[in-house]
Amino acid sequence: MLKNLISPKLKIYMNYEQIKKRIAPCGMYCGKCFSFNTGDIGEYASKLQKALGEFDIYAKRFSELIDEPKFLKYPEFKEMLNYFATPQCKGCREEKCKLFKDCKVRGCTEKMNVDFCFECRDFQCNDTGFDEHLQKRYVRINERMQEIGVEKYYEEIKDKPRYQ
């Protein structure tokens, strides 16, 4: 089967426009957001959903068979898994971010005619609408992109978890 002929280490290179779809103008990595519709979290959640099948019935049985009360929490786990498996967002460049509702960056980068904040003459500005934590990340990420370029930055972060 073709699937078996493809090395798991095979690198898939993305061009600048493809990378832009995954990295927001502020530098945050939409591609690893739980809400990104073609992201890893949605894909893995969907695979796990399929692998579990009709586990509901078994969860109850296993809680008794092996006396493990954790299985009784399966309905809550399943609810969360279903949520992760149906991500809706197309990324910051296509729609308004559902998480950071006060973000002013996308509209501003369009006005300033830049793809990323580090390309703007006013970087680092304080008019992003971010809280302190996000503002620090925005500065750190943009400085790194400025230093090594967008493509290399993408290579650096593409396999790291977004939530760390």
Residue 123 found at the interface with ligand SF4 (CB under 6 A): yes
- The alpha helices in 10-159, defined as continuous H runs, are 16-22, 40-52, 55-65, 74-85, 105-112, 132-148, 150-157
Q: Pick the piece of the chain touching ligand SF4 (CB under 6 A) from 6-14, 64-72, 73-81, 125-133.
A: 125-133
What is the spatial distance between Cα 145 and Cα 132, in angstroms, rounded to a whole number?
Answer: 20
Instruction: List the x/- string, 86-115, binding to ligand SF4 by CB under 6 A.
Output: ---x-xx----xxx-----x--xx--x-x-
Nearer residue to ligand SF4 within complex by CB, 19 or 59: 19
CA 69 to chain centre: 32
Candidates 87, 117, 110, 113; CA nearest to 23 is 117
Residue 136 found at the interface with ligand SF4 (CB under 6 A): no
Q: Considering only residues 23, 33, 45, 157, which one is a binding residue for ligand SF4 as defined by CB under 6 A?
A: 33
What is the spatial distance between Cα 99 and Cα 28, in angstroms, rounded to a whole number?
Answer: 12
Residue 127 found at the interface with ligand SF4 (CB under 6 A): yes
CB atoms within 10 A of CB 83: 13
Shortest distance in whole angstroms from residue 23 CB to ligand SF4? 9
Q: Tokens representing 116?
A: 């990323």
Residue 141 found at the interface with ligand SF4 (CB under 6 A): no
Q: Contact positions toward ligand SF4, by CB under 6 A?
A: 24, 28, 30, 33, 35-36, 89, 91-92, 97-99, 105, 108-109, 112, 114, 117, 120, 122-123, 125, 127-128
